[in-house]
Amino acid sequence: MTTTAPKARSEAAEHLKAVALRLFAERGIDGVTVRQIAEAAGQKNHAVVGYYFGSKEALVRELIVDGARAIDVRRNAWLDGCEAKGGPHSVAEVIEGMIETSLDPEAAPGDESFNRFFTLLGLSHRGFFMEALEGQWNTGYQRCLNHLRRMMPDMPVAKKNERFVFLGGTLGAILAARESELADRSRPHRMWQSGATLKHAAKVIAAMIEAPFR
């Protein structure tokens, strides 16, 4: 796995990134201007995005890599721990691990935005999204799929790959929906605030992966 460290950024640049990530998650990258990012970050100089990142596109690229790298590091660390104990032992355990490692453990409730950003960008600008990743930061995901392959019902490889497409789409939709609901602080969200909800989601997705093939 590539282990290139993220480029150090000033506190002001990191604040801009956090603000931009939230806006992109809410409106998509085409629905947000550099001027709006600067204003939302409390900056009077509307050229501040260009100053720190060169362009809006470069900022989006950095956000993609930042988030994908963080998830991949967490996912590989989780897998290392599981495998050291002889696991993972079930499809549901793999799916639950994939979900948990997609969450930012340092984010306050309602402050997560990356999964919404990631999912929306993958749908609207998939070519750009994949090019920005440069084939990196998915080793943990591939390791999870390898574990699923050995535990799935017997079926043609092409059909297993179809289920992995369903898996990716379902995971992204669930995590994006959770973030969107929790970001709305106008009312309680008892379902998404419960730790049992994502565990239930993992069991439901596992049932899809384990469904008999005929």
Give me the CATH topology for the region 11-210: Tetracycline Repressor; domain 2 (1.10.357)
Q: What is the mean pLDDT of residues 71-97?
A: 98
Q: Decide: residue 37, CB within 10 A, 0-12 exposed, 13-18 middle, 19+ buried.
A: buried
Task: Report how far residue 161's alpha carbon sits from residue 159's, in angstroms, rounded to the nearest whole number.
Answer: 5
- Residue 174: pLDDT over 50: yes
Q: Which residues of 50-85 are buried (b: 16+ CB within 10 A; e: fewer)?
A: eebbeebeebbbbbbbbbbbbbbbbbbebbeebeee
Note the pLDDT of residue 2. 43
Q: What is this structure's pTM?
A: 0.91
The mean per-residue pLDDT over the stretch 154-176 comes to 97
User: What is the overall mean pLDDT for the chain?
Assistant: 94
Structural domain boundaries in the chain:
11-210
d(CA 117, CA 120): 5
pLDDT band (50, 70, 90) for residue 9: confident
